[in-house]
Amino acid sequence: MPDCSNPLWPCAMTGAAACMAGFEGMGVIIHGSSGCYFYPATLLHTLLHSTFISEEDVIFGSEKRIVETIDELSPRYERLAVLLTCVPAVTGDDLKRMIGRDDVIIVDSPGFAGSFEEGYTRAVSQLPCITTGDVPGVNIDGLSLADPFCHGNAIEIERLLGKAGVRVATRFCLDRLDALGHCADNTVGANPDLQSGKGRYLGSMLGLDNIRQTVTELARYNPLDADAVCREADMAEERLAAACDKYLRRYEPPSVAVSGNFSYAVFAAGMIERYLDGAICTIASRNAVGPSPYNVVQTDDLDVITGLISSNDPDLVVGSSFERSVAPGCAFVGIIPPLRGQVRLRAQPLAGTEGALNFMEQVLNACIDRQKRK
Amino acid sequence: MNTSRTEGCTLTGALSVTTAVRDGVTVIHGPKGCAHHNFSLFHATRIDNECFSVPRIVSTGLLEDDIIFGGEEALEQTIRAVIQRRPASVYVLSTCVVETIGDDVRSVCEKIWDVPVLHIPTAGFLGGVFRTGYVNALMALSVLAKKTGDSPGVNLVGEKNLEFEVDQHFMEVSRLISLLGTDVHIRYVRDASTADIGRLGNASLNILREPALEPVGRHFESSFRTPWISSFPVGLYGTIRFLEETAEKLGAGSNAAVEEELKFQREMMERFSDLECRTVWFGEGFESSPGFPLVEELITELDMALDERGTSLTFPDPFPVGTAGISRLLHRWRRRCNA
């Protein structure tokens, strides 16, 4: 069926905005209406701009509008990026001609082009990256302002790389704009679903096994102390095992329904299964499904997810506050936006050793709270 | 740069009405993103209002091919699928991209369906702004109503479902009309069923949320012969005037209710007598705001002073409803003055 009940995942335009707005010094202009502007402006918690086009602009052309907006914003930013929404994409505005400047980045990112990841990827491909081959360090990619773990992941991966003796070159997409001028040859990821395609991708830092593999791989290209990171991962694993063992002495392992972007969902399922012997009854991915040991259903339809959860009657739901709304009796851990109805001030990671510990800490606390409520 | 074009999307305005029909489903004809943006907003707002149910919004999920070849078939299939889930009513909203490609949404909705399928004119930003969608939805849903009898109660028309204090305003209006011996017939539209909407025409009076809804009041007057007043009560004098006007439209006396409310207001204001002689300020240009007379009334009643060196307060916009709303506002003023 073409329809989708209560779609749960943002559109391509929002993905493009999440990429571009992650660079300090980049002015992001959403070429569209106020309706298209408000959602990314609230989701990304950052300053965005818009041409706020009206019906008149569609009929008579939006050239004046876009030029006026660019002229106003140019003095305030090092670069500008213009993101196309549905209507300008359909009316075929020739933005390159209208703007008449080569230094303004244009991203064709109408909502109907697909999901968040599609827009993010299109935007990343337009970034003016310079890789000279002699920049020391490593890039981090998979960072997105829409991700509740964006800042936490950046801090945590940088800490781990620092422990191994490697500096970070460019963070895609959470950095200063000038960092694009000195990208490194190698890249490690926070979220494999949002790979930048910049530099040689050596693996992700999501989950303890991936951390070990990625830093070991990185050691082939960069002089670094991979053992320091692997030792930390081993210690984290011991702490996880001890905490989960303690839980299992008192309680049965939880049955779990997981929703998320593909990589986060598979990470969450793997952690719960491995350390808590949890039964993964269903995994729903908001975006395209890749290879994994699990049977993952791709859906962003709330009715489908509600059906998956209710037919499996899980103890624990991992996902967003949408999932929490349809499973109010279950323990809940949030891994994807939106995470409404809770205060989140710290930069929490999901990647890195601290991310693994943070996730399982939340799982155990949520399960223990639910056991106490019984 | 002109930054005045920030009044929101017609879709959001219309959805603020249609998603408040608890047994209805809203179809958004457009790309999934438009539905997600709004669903996410409504989800957040409901959680803020401690309502954990989710609104029923279905997207036709248009992709590039539908944009090129037209999306009417996708709309028809979606309506058919939605009706299989047995809603009591279906509301179809169009987006700006659908308007641009020229889909004939109305004719699809006008086909013979098993339940009412109403087209709400929206068309994203091409149809106007948030308020346009909100007014259009209030107008469109009224085709479900017939005058089948007479109720002594009053309808509340156009409550702002995205407003944080929406239920506090409802309680205050309910309290005030109870002083006149009447009650609320239908909340049009907040947590109403399709059958509730069917009884819209039976009320004795429509109380509009704000004067911008006057076209809706006139439309219902011509459809159902229901008199109307143009706004929920705001301000001390405005609340008394509301009681008098409501009583007059209902053909009832207001003296006892007015006397009781004046006593209630005096007691409430006495609780804030410590604000007397306090100096406050509301920032640049507040004196030209349409709500200034309401603020000025409180400043005068409490013998406060306005001066830019005074305590900085946020200008109340929109002004809270009724005497209870003023009490909550003055608590916030006192908290700032004592901080």
Please report, rounded to a whole number, the percentage of residues in chain B having pLDDT higher than 90. Answer: 83
Query: Which of A54, A113, A322 is opposite residue B5, by nearest beta carbon?
Result: A54
Q: Are residues A180 and A76 in the same domain?
A: no
**pTM for this structure?**
0.86
Q: What is the mean predicted confidence (pLDDT) over B66-77?
A: 91
CB of B199 closer than 8 Å to CB of B224: no
Question: Does any domain span residue A130?
Answer: no
Residue of B nearest to A338 (CA): B40
From the centroid of its chain, how far is CA A193? 8
Domains of chain B in start order, with CATH, are: 10-144 (3.40.50.1980)
What's the CA dihedral at A193, A199, A201, A206 to 10 degrees? -60
Residue B259 token pair: 């006397």
What's the mean per-residue pLDDT of chain B?
93
CA distances from residue B30 to A112, A342, B63, B267 in whole angstroms, order as listed: 8, 31, 8, 54
Q: Are residues A157 and A187 in the same domain?
A: yes
Q: How many domains is chain A partitioned into structurally?
A: 3
Q: Are residues A364 and A257 in the same domain?
A: yes
B32-71 residues touching A, CB cutoff 8 A: 32-37, 39-41, 43-44, 47, 52-64, 66-67
Q: Which residues contact B131 (CB under 8 A, 6 or more apart)?
A: B7, B13, B212
CA distance B93 to chain A (A): 14
pLDDT at A1: 43
Which among B97, B108, B162 is the top mutation candidate for probing chain A, defined by the most A β-carbons within 10 Å of its own β-carbon?
B97
Taking 70 as the threshold, does the pLDDT of residue B108 lie above it?
Answer: yes
Query: Which of A10, A33, A38 is opposite residue B124, by nearest beta carbon?
Result: A33
Q: Are residues A216 and A251 in the same domain?
A: no
Q: Which residue carries 């933005």 as its tokens?
A: A95
B215-254 residues touching A, CB cutoff 8 A: none
B80-119 residues touching A, CB cutoff 8 A: 81-82, 95-97, 100-101
pLDDT at B2: 47
Q: Which of A177, A196, A190, A222 is nearest to A80 (CA)?
A: A177
Dist. CA A297–CA A287, nearest whole Å:
10
The size of chain A, in residues, is: 374
Question: Does any domain span residue A6?
Answer: no
Q: Are residues A77 and A159 in the same domain?
A: no
A107-146 residues touching B, CB cutoff 8 A: 110-115
| Confidence tier at B47 by pLDDT (50, 70, 90) | confident
Do the chains contact at A3 and B61, CB–CB below 8 Å?
A: yes
SS3 call for A76: helix
Do the chains contact at A112 and B31, CB–CB below 8 Å?
A: yes
ipTM confidence: 0.83
Question: Does any domain span residue A347?
Answer: yes
Taking 70 as the threshold, does the pLDDT of residue B4 lie above it?
Answer: no
Per the DSSP assignment, residues forming a β-bridge with A171 are A140
* Contacts with A35 from chain B: Cβ below 8 Å: 8-12, 34, 37, 96, 124-125
* Contacts with A10 from chain B: Cβ below 8 Å: 33, 36-37, 40
Do the chains contact at B2 and A52, CB–CB below 8 Å?
A: yes
Q: Provide the domain limits for residue A36.
A: 12-125
| DSSP H or E segment with residue B166 | helix B166-178
CA distance B261 to chain A (A): 37
Q: Which of A57-66, B48-57, B83-92 shows the lowest mean pLDDT across its residues?
A: B48-57
For chain B, report the end-to-end CA distance as a whole number of angstroms.
38
* Contacts with B63 from chain A: Cβ below 8 Å: 112, 114
**CB contact, 8 Å: A341 with chain B?**
yes
Domain end point (choices A217, A232, A247): A232
Q: Are residues A224 and A291 in the same domain?
A: no
Q: Are residues A198 and A302 in the same domain?
A: no
CA distance A245 to chain B (A): 34
Do the chains contact at A111 and B124, CB–CB below 8 Å?
A: no
Domain end point (choices A125, A148, A181): A125
| DSSP H or E segment with residue A270 | helix A262-276
pLDDT at A67: 93
* Contacts with A114 from chain B: Cβ below 8 Å: 63
pLDDT in tens, B5-40: 567 889 999 999 999 999 999 999 999 999 999 999
Residue A278 token pair: 């949890």
Dist. CA A231–CA A237, nearest whole Å:
10
CA distance B281 to chain A (A): 28
Domain end point (choices A60, A92, A125): A125
Q: Are residues A192 and A242 in the same domain?
A: no
**CB contact, 8 Å: A87 with chain B?**
yes
Which among A4, A30, A84, A317 is the top mutation candidate for probing chain B, defined by the most B β-carbons within 10 Å of its own β-carbon?
A4
Question: Does any domain span residue A132?
Answer: no
Counting Cα atoms < 13 Å in the Cβ hemisphere of B98 gives 29
Q: Are residues A294 and A347 in the same domain?
A: yes
**Mean pLDDT split into 10-residue runs, chain A, 374 residues:** 81 97 97 90 92 85 90 96 93 86 94 94 96 90 97 98 96 97 96 96 98 97 94 98 95 97 98 96 96 95 95 97 94 95 91 98 97 86
Dist. CA B332–CA B328, nearest whole Å:
7
Dist. CA B242–CA A149, nearest whole Å:
51
Q: Are residues A103 and A88 in the same domain?
A: yes
pLDDT at A230: 98
CB of A27 closer than 8 Å to CB of A177: no
Query: Which of A69, A112, A328 is opposite residue B63, by nearest beta carbon?
Result: A112
Q: What is the mean predicted confidence (pLDDT) over B95-122?
A: 93
Residue of A nearest to B56 (CA): A6
Question: Does any domain span residue A216?
Answer: yes
Q: Are residues A22 and A81 in the same domain?
A: yes
Query: Which of A2, A6, A14 is opposite residue B74, by nearest beta carbon?
Result: A2
A3-42 residues touching B, CB cutoff 8 A: 3-14, 32-39, 42
CB of B336 closer than 8 Å to CB of B315: no
Taking 90 as the threshold, does the pLDDT of residue B121 lie above it?
Answer: no
Q: How many CB atoms within 10 Å of residue B2? A: 11
pLDDT at B284: 86
Q: Are residues A186 and A241 in the same domain?
A: no
Dist. CA B8–CA B2, nearest whole Å:
15
Which DSSP state fits A329?
T
SS3 call for B92: strand
| Confidence tier at B3 by pLDDT (50, 70, 90) | very low
CA distance A29 to chain B (A): 13
Burial group, residue A295, by CB count within 10 angstroms (0-12, 13-18, 19+):
exposed
Question: What CATH number corresponds to the domain at position A47?
Answer: 3.40.50.1980
B4-33 residues touching A, CB cutoff 8 A: 5-12, 27, 30-33
Do the chains contact at A9 and B101, CB–CB below 8 Å?
A: no
**CB contact, 8 Å: A326 with chain B?**
yes
* Contacts with B31 from chain A: Cβ below 8 Å: 11, 86, 110-112
pLDDT at A316: 98
